[in-house]
Chains A and B, each alone.
Chain A
Amino acid sequence: MPDSHPSATKAAAAQRVLGLGVFSPSFRGRDPFLRARPGTTGGAGRGPSAAAKMAAPLVLVLLVAVTVRAVLYRSSLAALISDRVEVASPLNAWKRVVEGLALLDLGVSPYSGDVFHETPLIIYLFHFLVDYAELVFMITDILTAVALYLAIQDYNKVLFKKQKLLIELNKYAPDATELIQTPMEMYYIPLKVALFYLLNPYTVMSCVAKSTCAINNAVIAFFILATIKGSAFLSAIFLAVATYQSLYPLTLFAPALLYLLQRQFIPVKIKNKDFWLYTMQYTGLYLGSLIVIICLSFFLLNSWDFIPSVYGFILSVPDLTPNVGLFWYFFAEMFEHFSLFFVCVFQINVFFYTIPLAVKLKEHPMFFMFVQLAIISIFKSYPTVGDIALYMAFLPLWSHLYQFLRNVFILSCVLIVCSLLFPVLWHLWIYAGSANSNFYYAITLTFNVGQILLISDYFYAYLQREYYLTHGIFLIRKDRTDPMLVLK
């Protein structure tokens, strides 16, 4: 009897949940491990002892990461890595920072040439810290990882509470219990996130090349931390700093606002007065701090030169040095008089997805944040591998989607192969002269398509899981055949 099996399981699962009633005991019963660790079973997550237990591996990871970076700084690979176009873009190359500092010391505006495109705050930061640059970049990476760690820890607590609430309200389908994340599964996620960020070869290379992308990542990580902690004030400030640094984080405004609203239990409805009030507040804070920072920059250099030189440079893409992005080849090939139109098209691409995603992922702002970060790092005008490392750090957070992912094996192979082929094809093109730019661009294209497919795979997996959670796993059509889930 083909249909007896699912329905029997369904009945059993329903009994399990309904009979036990409360969420946590059912999991205590299911997982013998949890009883051994009282710190992890409490509804709110972990007590201080658990936090201390987790701190040790985190410190270990930090030590390993620092060692790897310190060794690489001292090796001959450092010079090689910092010249790689995949690691250092015209926006964040260390060479250009040094050039800008030299110009500043000479009393010339650093923006007078076409070399320096950092923001004034960065140049003043390194004006004082240039001798300790290696240290600064190592600390930046560590701060990013710790911020992500704390943020994810907090997010897991919130998620746990939310799950509990939904179970008590009977929002989940009775047979979907196995899809619910257990605290046991969530226990190592913050550590894995920190590990993924710190030991990702992309991050390591970016740090060794002293690409200022690491600083942008740190600001974004702090922004995420502040958002998850529910501090609208800090969140707005960090978002303003991130926007000021690289413009594109502007689109993170939407997920952050959604998250904060959700945390305040304010429903997102047009007619709701609280919603508008809160949105206005947050927007005001954000714009206010943005204006303050920009004015500060103006007073530092006493000129508005940095606006065209930083934001104009980002938006109009005049520098077509090859990189891992999609812009350079396209605009190198294009006739000049079309380029304005296509620059607009390409740039809109980054901002375009925010609205549909905001509608679709209204209830899941954290996932929205992740997708938005990925979109920025794929479609921005001067992407580097450091940007990619930031969103890849979030992949362990979605490890519960693993069973719904379709192509993750092939896609990860594609991404790794492309990363390896970048230097090889660059060598063939630039040094050996036997290949040409098409080879390199083909790999860039494959790399980005791989990333896009990976993100959409995660996106569909997320939606699929949410669907199953509310509708149950064992769906049966009216004609008793296995159903196909079509996502719209």
Chain B
Amino acid sequence: MPVAWLEKTMWNLGLEVYKQTFSRTLPFPDELRERYMVKGTNVYGILRAPRGASTESLVLSVPCSPGQQNNQAVGLMLALASYFRGQIYWAKDIIFLVNEHDLIGMEAWLEAYHDVNVTELHSSGMLGRAGAIQAALSLELSSDVITSFDVALEGLNGQLPNLDLVNLFYSFCQKNNLLCTIQGKLQRSDWDSLPAYLHSLQTLLLMVLKQGSGRPQGDHGLFLRYHIEAITLRGINSFRQYKFDMSTMGATLEGMFRKLNNLLERLHQSYFFYLLPSLSRFVSIGVYMPAFGFLILILVLKALDLWMKLSQCDTEADGQACDGEQSPRMVATEEPKPSLLALVPPLLICQATGLALYFVPILGQEMATQHFPVSESEAVVLTAIAIYVGGLALPHNTHRVLMGSGGDRGWMTLKLVALLYLAMQLGCIALVNFSLGFLLAVTLVPVAAIVQPTGPKYLYAVLLVLVTPAATLLFCLFLHGELLEYPISLLEGWQRFLQAIAEGLLDHHLYGSVVFPFVAIFVYPCWLLLWNVLFWK
């Protein structure tokens, strides 16, 4: 990145220019972006507001990386800066930020700006600050003419910006006759026909998949963690006839900044929890949460059912007086009351496997590369998969060693625990990242409710393997391909799968995404418990 040139140019435009250097060593090499030891510099200029006291600010951020991608955005930003400099109506400082190494640079800048260190980034301190950042726009532009703007909303851990910001941009685009899309899909003019519903469903599903992945879908995604409303605007140049030039884009951005400049307080009304089937329609939390609640209710009711059965067993075992017709159905166990201690080993083993899945891949990568002919990142991913699969073979024999053949009470209690555990973790994650919770719930809940050691065992086993979180991930990758109308082959799917695992790990270690630890430490052990229930006998 031409740091000196940028500094000089911004200086000449009349901005206060600062730079910030940062470095970060990744836990393992990122093969997709080919980086391991990252060093970079962010350059930013502050336009001090003539009408304000520098207590509030807005950010226009532009990622800058070598190559053709995103090569027009810096130019537009500089042009805007020079134009903004001449205007007198600014009441909030405006920060023009050029960040290197996309999200890593963004994270470094945000951490330095707020003087915190949540990841293990090393960065030089920050010299120049404007006020508290009220809102941010991130711009990505790869050509000098565009046909439409695509709005990216999903941030880290599925956090979403305030819906008002999105609505603001959309209505402003409509006013300027600029095309505006979401998930790369243009809204259809009709909305109450079947193909239109399907189209909306596709858009909605894409949003669910992206949100569920917990990855920031643009540089704005990291702002959200700092309580700053932000969206990424991506210029799209498709084969459409009618194109817009730089001046229209500039006018749109200027309009957005003027609107944000006029805000009296942070955007806080409106919605933070929503799903968008199109830009002009949204599904609010009040609509989708009950549906999710019903899904969880299945687990709770099933757990209650088991609880009733268990307490029935109790009373029947205690009062032997009840008539003999009932007793053969409730298989009398050798010990009428197996103590809860029998449940401790499976629980501990499952949790330990989960913890191993979380810690071992990163810690063991050196050993793996020494003993096997694989690169570091392959080693990490393959170790994770090996532990994941190995976990299936591990825990389900302990109770037989401890207390002979397990009775009905044993698996019922274990299933009760597993169901409640699953319901609790799904409920918690759905509040943080609804889509993730929903994807896991839709797959896991039905199978979790029916699985038991009697009946068609192999069918249950196949079903259970099909809904394991890893299989869900694979399935989601194929679904994503289908929805983008770009189906992927099996081999490609597998490669994407490996990539997705590596990125999940990297996201967690670089930005603090919770998806990987959540799946590894909570969902996977819970799934193992269900697996354990299945092979109880």
Residues of A whose CB lies within 8 Å of any CB of B are 5, 9, 409, 413, 416-417, 420-421, 424-425, 427-428, 431-435
Q: Mark B427-456, 1 if CB is under 8 A from A, else 0.
A: 110011000000000000000000000000
Q: Which residues of B contact A428 (CB under 8 A)?
A: 431-432
Q: Which residues of B contact A421 (CB under 8 A)?
A: 427-428, 431
Q: Mark B298-322, 1 if CB is under 8 A from A, else 0.
A: 0010001001000000000000010
Q: Is the CB of B272 within 8 A of A433?
A: yes
Q: Which residues of B contact A5 (CB under 8 A)?
A: 321
| Contact A431:B427 (CB < 8 A) given known A409-B304, A413-B420 | no
Q: Does B403 contact A (CB under 8 A)?
A: no
Q: Does B424 contact A (CB under 8 A)?
A: yes
Q: Is the CB of B272 within 8 A of A9?
A: no
- Which residue of chain A lies nearest to B155 when distances are taken between CB atoms in the complex? A432
Distance, CA A420 to CA B268, complexed state (A): 26
Q: Which residues of A contact B24 (CB under 8 A)?
A: none
30 A-B residue pairings within 8 Å (CB atoms): A5-B321, A409-B304, A409-B307, A413-B300, A413-B420, A416-B420, A416-B424, A417-B424, A417-B427, A420-B424, A420-B428, A421-B427, A421-B428, A421-B431, A424-B431, A424-B432, A427-B432, A428-B431, A428-B432, A431-B225, A432-B224, A432-B225, A432-B227, A432-B272, A432-B432, A433-B227, A434-B159, A434-B160, A434-B272, A435-B272
Q: Which residues of A contact B159 (CB under 8 A)?
A: 432, 434
Distance, CA A286 to CA B304, complexed state (A): 49
Distance, CA A420 to CA B431, complexed state (A): 12
| Closest Cβ–Cβ distance, residue B109 to chain A (whole Å) | 19
Residues of B whose CB lies within 8 Å of any CB of A are 159-160, 224-225, 227, 268, 272-273, 300, 304, 307, 321, 420, 424, 427-428, 431-432
Q: Which residues of A contact B428 (CB under 8 A)?
A: 420-421, 424
Additional A-B contacts beyond A421-B427, A421-B431 (15; CB < 8 A):
A5-B321, A9-B321, A409-B307, A413-B420, A420-B428, A424-B432, A428-B431, A428-B432, A431-B227, A432-B159, A432-B225, A432-B432, A433-B227, A434-B160, A435-B272
Distance, CA A432 to CA B514, complexed state (A): 14
Chain B contact residues: over half helix, strand or loop, or mixed? Answer: helix
| Closest Cβ–Cβ distance, residue B510 to chain A (whole Å) | 17
Distance, CA A116 to CA B428, complexed state (A): 35
Q: Tell me the total A-B contact number using a CB cutoff of 8 A.
A: 38
Chain A contact residues: over half helix, strand or loop, or mixed? Answer: helix
Q: Is the CB of B273 within 8 A of A434?
A: yes
| Closest Cβ–Cβ distance, residue A447 to chain B (whole Å) | 14
Q: Which residues of A contact B227 (CB under 8 A)?
A: 431-433
Q: Which residues of A contact B300 (CB under 8 A)?
A: 413
| Closest Cβ–Cβ distance, residue B475 to chain A (whole Å) | 27
| Closest Cβ–Cβ distance, residue A18 to chain B (whole Å) | 20
Distance, CA A427 to CA B321, complexed state (A): 54
Distance, CA A9 to CA B320, complexed state (A): 12
Distance, CA A431 to CA B159, complexed state (A): 11
Distance, CA A432 to CA B133, complexed state (A): 15
- Which residue of chain B lies nearest to A413 when distances are taken between CB atoms in the complex? B420
| Closest Cβ–Cβ distance, residue A456 to chain B (whole Å) | 21
Distance, CA A428 to CA B227, complexed state (A): 10
Distance, CA A433 to CA B271, complexed state (A): 11
Q: Which residues of B contact A9 (CB under 8 A)?
A: 321
Q: Which residues of A contact B431 (CB under 8 A)?
A: 421, 424-425, 428
- Which residue of chain B lies nearest to A428 when distances are taken between CB atoms in the complex? B431
| Closest Cβ–Cβ distance, residue B325 to chain A (whole Å) | 16
Q: Which residues of B contact A427 (CB under 8 A)?
A: 432
- Which residue of chain A lies nearest to B427 when distances are taken between CB atoms in the complex? A417
Q: Which residues of B contact A434 (CB under 8 A)?
A: 159-160, 272-273
A-B pairs, top 3 by smallest CB distance, nearest first, are A434-B272, A433-B227, A424-B428
Q: Which residues of A contact B273 (CB under 8 A)?
A: 434
Q: Which residues of A contact B272 (CB under 8 A)?
A: 432-435
Q: Which residues of B contact A409 (CB under 8 A)?
A: 304, 307
Distance, CA A75 to CA B224, complexed state (A): 28
| Closest Cβ–Cβ distance, residue A191 to chain B (whole Å) | 13
Distance, CA A433 to CA B230, complexed state (A): 13
| Closest Cβ–Cβ distance, residue A238 to chain B (whole Å) | 34
- Which residue of chain B lies nearest to A409 when distances are taken between CB atoms in the complex? B307
- Which residue of chain A lies nearest to B431 when distances are taken between CB atoms in the complex? A424
| Closest Cβ–Cβ distance, residue A31 to chain B (whole Å) | 13
- Which residue of chain A lies nearest to B430 when distances are taken between CB atoms in the complex? A424
- Which residue of chain A lies nearest to B271 when distances are taken between CB atoms in the complex? A434
Q: Which residues of A contact B420 (CB under 8 A)?
A: 413, 416
